[in-house]
Amino acid sequence: MAESEMKITFPNGDVHEFVRGITCLEVAKSISEGLARAAVAAKLDGVVVDLTRKIESDAKFEVIKFESKEGKDVFWHSSSHVMAKAILRLFPDAKLTIGPAIETGFYYDIDIGTPFTPEDLVKIEAEMGKIVKENEPFQRSEVSRSEAEKIINERLANPYKIELLKDVPEGEKISFYSLGKNFIDLCYGPHLPSSGKIKAFKLLNTSTAYWRGDAKNKALQRVYGVSFPEKKELDAHLKMLEDAAKRDHRKIGKDLGIFTFAEEVGMGLPLWLPKGEVLRHLLVEYMRKMEEEDGYVYVHSPSITRADLYYATGHLPYYKDSMYAPIEIDGMEYYLKPMNCPHHHMMFRTLAASYKDLPVRFAEAGDCFRHELSGTMHGLMRVRCFTQNDSHMYVTPAQLKKEVIGVARLFQRVYVDMGISDYSFRLSLPDFENNPGKYGGEEKKWADASEELRQALLELKVPFDEVKGEASFYGPKIDIQLKNVYGQEDTIATIQIDIMIPKRLNLTFVNEKGEKENVIIIHRAILGSYERFIAYLLEHYAGNLPFWLSPVQAIVLPIADRHTEGALKVVAALHSAGIRTEIDSSNQTLDYRIRNAQLAKIPYMLVVGDRELENNSVTARKRTGEVMKPMALDEFLEFARKKNDGKELEL
């Protein structure tokens, strides 16, 4: 091999020799022209870099395409630069702050004073179109700190970028990216080689954001957008967004009278309306029944607690930002409870358990309070006060696997009843190799617990992904990922092993040898918080909840006034059969009342007129519009009771 040559290893293991200084793009071209066209960035020894990056020494090489998460990050972040350039062309006084790629596209936060109007967005899109058409190159330059300050002060006159520059740790490279002429931004990169790759894009909406996410700072305008290499991909994405918007739980929750918010009550503090409370109560009672059948015992803990407990568990001071400010009572500090675990641990401590008493499974529909940032609030999905379907299980090391299997099986039964099957298991493990300082305690205990979880999943015969480095700081865990209506994964259910707290709080049991030994704790949530789960359910079913979960299951519609008395008897009969029933005897036409009931997504409408009263029968309509054959009232009661008890999903 000549001096000037180096070895590049491709993902399939093939090693090729190239001249030093060749760019990543040229290496991609050497594989195929098509691959080079599809490339948005490259990976050198595991680090994502620009395609224009020159390779100077032996390296592992990989092409990054839009389809991958890393590819989308590069593509979308580059799009945010294109948008920023367009905005500066139209609004030269605007000050750019940060413009990252996010899971669903990109945004840029801009200090501009007045909010952007929809017309502004149209103009910005048109300007972006020009920048894309001009196919302007992205160019990286690395500079010293003093040069960077000079560029920001003299060319950009932007105090935000000076602050961002201060965040760059000493010794780290400082880079700028220019986009064509007259645009330069402080940025780590990487970026696309040029703007021409962004063939299809759309600005979606704007909102107010705050510098550093802190409402005490200046209000900024955030513009969200999304982009794709092909127009047809954008079209499909916009269609998906349109469909998802119809399922938005905030809209459905309002239409169906499930929940509301009031400015006077406070942000992120939901008010459950009567129908919502029925649903919430149903789920709480359902989980309690399922859990008690599985040997859980319910407990209850208070909503405020002395600071001392959170210092003992280690939540203070580390978790302080997520907690509400302390309340002083009798010279002592109290906090609103952000999680139920510490309280359950205090209860377990009173038991003086022997191995024969374990496992202990405490469960609670526990209210928690967390200070979520105002910008992150989203209907019931992210709130500041919520009720968790929580449990803490105290087990011996020998019981761990069996208990984890028990939790997973309970999860499976519950989700069958909910009609939800689009989920996957993820085993989150520590990464001692790359991040040894992150995990406390003995490596052996971590390894043992991880292996027990893996064996549990294998025994369950469910497919699962293993992710290194995703464990929590107190132990490995199994997350159950649900797909939301946007096609993204949400973690709602989780099974987390805790090998740290038992040691810290001295939570022990007496083992078979008569010695004290630390228990292992399983933190688990099947529905997560009732708030989030209900948001998820409303979106999953677009408000058409299964019969057993519908707040109102049937509505009786008397045809004329003279039928109301008889109709009330039908209502009473349904009530006795345990079916939640309403009557609509208003003066509106029957068609109008049927339409209203359909909009309220009530599963069954029972029309009662002369014939029905004479025969003691009902004619039922489903909310889908299907009319059932007339049947005797008793027959319908039996039919409905069976659907209810069997939690049947089909009407």
Show which residues are catalytic.
341, 370, 388, 390, 392, 477, 523
Instruction: State which residue, 187 or 613, has the beta carbon closest to Zn ion.
Output: 187
Q: Which is nearer to Zn ion, 227 or 619 (CB)?
A: 227
Categorise residue 326: left if φ over 0, alpha if ψ from -120 to 50, beta otherwise.
beta
Least separation in angstroms between residue 408's CB and Zn ion is 17
Q: Are 234 and 227 in contact (CB under 8 A)?
A: yes
Q: Quick one: DSSP state of residue 397?
A: G
Rounded to the nearest whole angstrom, what is the least distance from the CB of residue 368 to Zn ion in the complex? Answer: 10
- Residue that the structure tokens 């224009």 belong to: 52
DSSP-derived secondary structure for 250-310? HHHHHHTT-EE--TTT-TT--EE-HHHHHHHHHHHHHHHHHHHHTT-EE----SEEEHHHH
- Burial code (b: 16+ CB inside 10 Å, e: under 16) for 526-552 equals bbbbbbbbbbbbbbbbbbebbbbbbbb
Rounded least distance, CB 68 to Zn ion, Å: 18
522 vs 571, which CB is nearer to Zn ion?
522
Q: How far is the CB of 167 from Zn ion (least distance, A)?
A: 15
**Least CB distance to Zn ion at residue 521 (A):** 8
SS3 27: helix
Show Cβ contacts of residue 182 under 8 Å, excluding neighbours closer than 6 positions.
none
CB of 1 to Zn ion, least distance (A): 36
Beta carbon nearer to Zn ion, 8 or 209: 209
Residue with tokens 């707040």: 551
d(CA 86, CA 179): 11
For the CB of residue 177, give the shortest distance to Zn ion in the complex, in Å. 5
User: Which phi and psi angles does 376 have, rounded to 5°?
Assistant: -100, -5
Cis peptide before 317 (omega within 30 of 0): yes
Q: For 27, how many CA atoms within 13 A lie in the half-sphere containing its CB?
A: 34
Interacting residues toward Zn ion by CB under 5 A: 187, 341, 523
Task: Please answer whether residues 466 and 429 qualify as being in contact, where contact means their C-beta atoms are separated by less than 8 angstroms.
Answer: yes
Among 568, 569, 599, smallest CA distance to 583 is for: 568
Q: What tokens appear for 280 in the block?
A: 């919430």
Cβ closest to Zn ion, residue 101 vs residue 121: 101
Least distance to Zn ion, CB of residue 340, Å: 6
| Spatial contact of 472 and 501, defined as CB atoms under 8 Å apart | no
Q: Is the link from the previous residue into 115 a cis peptide, with omega within 30 of 0?
A: no
Whichever of 215 and 297 has its CB closer to Zn ion, that residue is 297
Amino acid at 345: H
Q: Which is nearer to Zn ion, 368 or 573 (CB)?
A: 368
Q: Are strands 554-558 and 604-608 parallel, antiparallel or unpaired?
A: parallel
Indicate the residue among 523 and 601 with the shorter CB distance to Zn ion: 523
